[in-house]
Amino acid sequence: MSVAEARITRLAVERSTRGEQIRELAFRAALLFSLGFGFLALAVLLIDVLLDGASLISYDFLTKFPSQIFPERSGISSALQGTLYLMVLTAVFIVPVGLATAVYLEEYADRDRWWNRLIEVNIQNLAAVPSIVYGILGLTFIVRGALDLGAVLLAGSLTLGLLVLPVVIVVAREAIRAVPSSIREGSLALGATHWQTIWKQTLPGALPGIATGVILALSRAIGETAPLILVGAIAFVPFNPDPNPAEGQYSAIPITILSSVSNPDSDVQALASGAIIVLMAILLVMNGGAVYLRNRYEQKW
């Protein structure tokens, strides 16, 4: 081999070794496999539910009342309306309470005081408490006990509200914290009061984040079953919820799904698939709304 040839075969940058290439590929394959696993599980679930329940979805299914005797003519009107009503009331409850708590903790609380730190730790822990515990809480203090509301829709939404309140508070605090301090300083330096600054600068700046958080919290609440069972939501209710939320019995979609699948009649079981599709559709709309809000209104500082 001449000197010139040897020079040609030597490159300025060395090639990676075979081993490095294989490791790189193996790692990438492992990542793709993990992604594929989750995706596949979801796809199988969705396809299965759609195959079972798509034929049920019709205007009648959404507007008729459930029946265990005539499952083929059954609908989920009372459960759908119950769920929507629950969500509205839950939102009415968690938005002001969650927001006010977040504003207090971010803007007023002196972190050097032990009680403020205690509240913070508590809220973080509450977010991890199992939902059935909230159900027991709701049963003890809201349905019976202190508030003694009875097994009504208002009690259900208050319980669901308590369940997701920690999430709302955490998200709202993050959104408030994301408003840069330079904006607060700019406002205060103009002679605005603390409250004016919060109301006219901080909260508007944090609103997209807060709205996204509230929607995501509600989409967690909408699928909760255990606490609703405990506070007395029932399945197969043959009437729509009373406009007065402190009156009468009510149902919700997750409850309908649970009792349908545990029914021995396979036609009744099929109702569950239809109800799941409706629930998934509502969830998709809510999460889509959250994504839209975030992309459309999120403030880039």
Partner 1 sequence: MAQEPDNREAAEQATSSLGAPASTVDGQVQARKLEASGQKPADGREAIFDLEDVGVSYGGVPAVREVDFPIYEHEITALIGPSGCGKSTLIRCLNRMNDLIPAAAVTGKVNYHGQDLYGDEVDPVQVRKRIGMVFQKPNPFPKSIYDNIAFGPRVLGMTGEMDEVVERALRRGALWDEVKDRLKTNAFGMSGGQQQRLCIARALATDPDVLLMDEPCSALDPISTGRIEDLMLELREDYSIVIVTHNMQQAARVSNMTAFFTVELDEDEKHRTGRVVEYDDTEKVFTNPGDERTEAYVTGKVG
For the bound state, the minimum distance from the C-beta of residue 172 to partner 1, rounded and expressed in Å, comes to 18
Label residue 173 exposed, middle or buried (CB < 10 Å: 0-12, 13-18, 19+).
buried
The correct pick among 6, 110, 146, 296 for binding partner 1 (CB under 8 A) is 110
Site residues for partner 1, 142-181, by CB under 8 A, read 180
Structure tokens at 288: 């889509």
Sign of CA pseudo-dihedral 211, 213, 215, 218:
negative
Q: By the 8 A CB rule, do 57 and 271 touch? A: no
Task: Identify which of 225, 208, 201, 199 has the alpha carbon closest to the alpha carbon of residue 86.
Answer: 225
Structure tokens at 172: 């709202």
The correct pick among 34, 55, 196, 244 for binding partner 1 (CB under 8 A) is 196
Which CB sits closer to partner 1, 12 or 189? Answer: 189
Sign of CA pseudo-dihedral 261, 263, 269, 272:
negative
182 contacts partner 1 (rule: CB under 8 A): yes
Q: Among the candidate windows 23-31, 38-46, 133-141, 190-198, which touches partner 1 by CB under 8 A?
A: 190-198
200 contacts partner 1 (rule: CB under 8 A): yes
140 contacts partner 1 (rule: CB under 8 A): no
What is the number of other CB atoms lying within 10 angstroms of the CB of residue 143?
Answer: 21
For the bound state, the minimum distance from the C-beta of residue 182 to partner 1, rounded and expressed in Å, comes to 4
Site residues for partner 1, 80-99, by CB under 8 A, read none
HSE-CB at 210 with a 13 A cutoff on CA atoms is: 24
Which CB sits closer to partner 1, 203 or 275? Answer: 203
For the bound state, the minimum distance from the C-beta of residue 195 to partner 1, rounded and expressed in Å, comes to 10
185 contacts partner 1 (rule: CB under 8 A): yes
Structure tokens at 187: 């406002």
For the bound state, the minimum distance from the C-beta of residue 26 to partner 1, rounded and expressed in Å, comes to 46
What is the number of other CB atoms lying within 10 angstroms of the CB of residue 50?
Answer: 15
For the bound state, the minimum distance from the C-beta of residue 188 to partner 1, rounded and expressed in Å, comes to 6
